[in-house]
Structure 1
Amino acid sequence: MNRRRRIYEGKAKILYEGPEPGTLIQHFKDDATAFNNKKHEVIDGKGVLNNRISEFIFTALNDLGIQTHFIKRINMREQLIKECEIIPLEVIVRNVAAGSISKRLGVEEGTQLPRSVIEFCYKNDSLDDPLVSEEHITAFGWASPQEIDDIMALAIRINDFLSGMFRAVGIRLVDFKIECGRYFEGDTMRVILADEISPDSCRLWDIESNDKLDKDRFRREMGGLIEAYQDVAKRLGIMIENTPERKGSGPVLVK
């Protein structure tokens, strides 16, 4: 087998050249990072869980008519995706105060926000992904005013869907981060959802206990990250409890 050409490697994923023009293979690593890679560990199985959870969510979004880069899952760690031009912005949708917004604005963590808040960060690790305004985005040409409108409309639709989906399985969607890309088909360009949606990119709290089921368990040295991600996958129906005939006692991924 010929060695695949690596296109890009990030903190948690690798992109390889795809089998057809206009496609890429997205590989999920087991690396856990926080604070722009200042904190880093390898946690066995994390990439598999993120791949499956992200597949589940992107498939549902595609079914709803929300355009994404996801085509299909190839194996336990890889997805076939559409090649797109990533817009250099992290788009954060906040429903509940947590993390940096609590620190910046002095709002107690866990406070329900009066309405969902959309924030933009310039995607640049060397600058620690600084918070930017729409003025910055248009002034520096990172996205046009129309693209900003498209991104915000996309973010609102995704938030509505995710909030309901997670609420139905007893999880509170505190906030989440997405990335978007420009997808070209002939002379047509549209903004689509890219990257991933998983417990790595969301804050997810149990509705009853407020237990954290996301990467904050790693950021805050709480432990139990894999168990938390497994809990999310199990609630979404991606994992099932082992039957008595199977070896082991933990849940297994549904193929």
Structure 2
Amino acid sequence: MARRKKVYEGKAKILYEGPEPGTLIQYFKDDSAPTASIPAPAAVEGKGVLNNRLSEFFMTGLNAIGVPTHFIRRLNMREQLVRMAEIIPLEVVVRNFAAGELSSRLGIPEGTPLPRPIVEYYYKDDRLGTPMVSEEHVIAFNWATQQDLDDIVALALRVNDFLSGVMMGVGIRLADFRIEVGRIWEGDYMRLIVADEISPDSCRLWDVRTASEAMERDGVTREPGPMADVYTELARRLGVLPTNVTHTPKPSLIN
């Protein structure tokens, strides 16, 4: 078999040239991207397999409701075929509840419902720590146009509606998540699509059942807590858990 050409390697995934023009093969590693709480990548056996299945599940669902993504099909346990896209250098974060960096920055208690979903932008540069930026920064430095930003917000909110509904249906509250957005061209027409992945690595998930059990036991309303085994448990609840993968990793959360 001919050796595949590596296009890019990140902390959690590797991209290889695809079998057809305009395609890539996305390989899911077991490493996790570092966060403020997890400063160095931690390899967890089988995590890449689960993230491949979970991202397939979410991307397929988005495609089905008319939200365009780069996902074409899953190839095997760790790889999927995706469309090549020009990635906009932003992490787009949607927040439904106060948590992590938002709580510390604004002094809002963790778990407070936000009056509406809030969309934030973070400039993708690991050397700088992926700093938060405003729309003015994005437009001034030509990372995206005002029309792009309008379309990104609309795209992110549709993703939020879909993910929030799916998660709540299996007893999980979606506190916040991040996506990456890419540009693709169809002839002379450019469109924005959801790229990268959607998995527990990019979501903050709270188990609603934990809070309900605490209320029944103690008679006190409590905010949901993080799921200790987020990858396996989410895959199990959604019905996409491979039978030969069992492990209990801790989630990588948005800061």
- Fold similarity call, TM over 0.5: yes
| Residue type at the aligned position of 2:225 | D
Equivalent position of 1:212 in the other structure: 226
Equivalent position of 2:195 in the other structure: 194
Per the TM alignment, residue 197 of structure 1 is displaced from its structure 2 partner at its CA by 0.5
The range that moved more, 51-60 or 183-192, is 183-192
Equivalent position of 2:241 in the other structure: 239
Report which structure shows greater RCO (CA 8 Å, sep ≥6): 2
Per the TM alignment, residue 250 of structure 1 is displaced from its structure 2 partner at its CA by 5.6
Which secondary structure state, in structure 1, belongs to the residue aligned with residue 225 of structure 2?
A: coil
| Long gaps (5+) in structure 1 | 214-223, 243-247
| Residue type at the aligned position of 2:236 | K
Which secondary structure state, in structure 2, belongs to the residue aligned with residue 33 of structure 1?
A: coil
Per the TM alignment, residue 186 of structure 1 is displaced from its structure 2 partner at its CA by 1.5
Equivalent position of 1:220 in the other structure: none
Which secondary structure state, in structure 2, belongs to the residue aligned with residue 147 of structure 1?
A: helix
Cα RMSD for the two superposed structures = 1.7
Summarize deviations over 1:152-192 as a string: whole Å, max 9, x none.
00001010111111001000000000000001111111010
- Rounded Cα–Cα distance in structure 2 between residues aligned with 1:80 and 1:250: 25
- Rounded Cα–Cα distance in structure 2 between residues aligned with 1:122 and 1:72: 29
- Rounded Cα–Cα distance in structure 1 between residues aligned with 2:34 and 2:90: 18
Q: After the TM superposition, which residues 61-72 of structure 1 pair with which residues of structure 2 at under 5 Å, given as runs?
A: 61-72=62-73
Moved over 3 A (4+): 248-251
Q: After the TM superposition, which residues 1-255 of structure 1 pair with which residues of structure 2 at under 5 Å, given as runs?
A: 1-35=1-35, 38-209=39-210, 210-213=224-227, 224=228, 227-239=229-241
Quick one: percent identity of the two aligned structures?
Answer: 60
Q: In the alignment, is the contact (CA less than 8 A) between 2:232 and 2:246 conserved in 1?
A: no
Which secondary structure state, in structure 1, belongs to the residue aligned with residue 176 of structure 2?
A: strand
Per the TM alignment, residue 142 of structure 1 is displaced from its structure 2 partner at its CA by 0.1
- Rounded Cα–Cα distance in structure 1 between residues aligned with 2:245 and 2:162: 33
Change (3 A) 1:141 1:155: same
- Rounded Cα–Cα distance in structure 1 between residues aligned with 2:177 and 2:151: 18
Which secondary structure state, in structure 2, belongs to the residue aligned with residue 31 of structure 1?
A: coil
Per the TM alignment, residue 24 of structure 1 is displaced from its structure 2 partner at its CA by 0.2
| Residue type at the aligned position of 2:239 | G
- Rounded Cα–Cα distance in structure 2 between residues aligned with 1:10 and 1:180: 16
Q: How many residues align?
A: 233
| Residue type at the aligned position of 2:234 | V
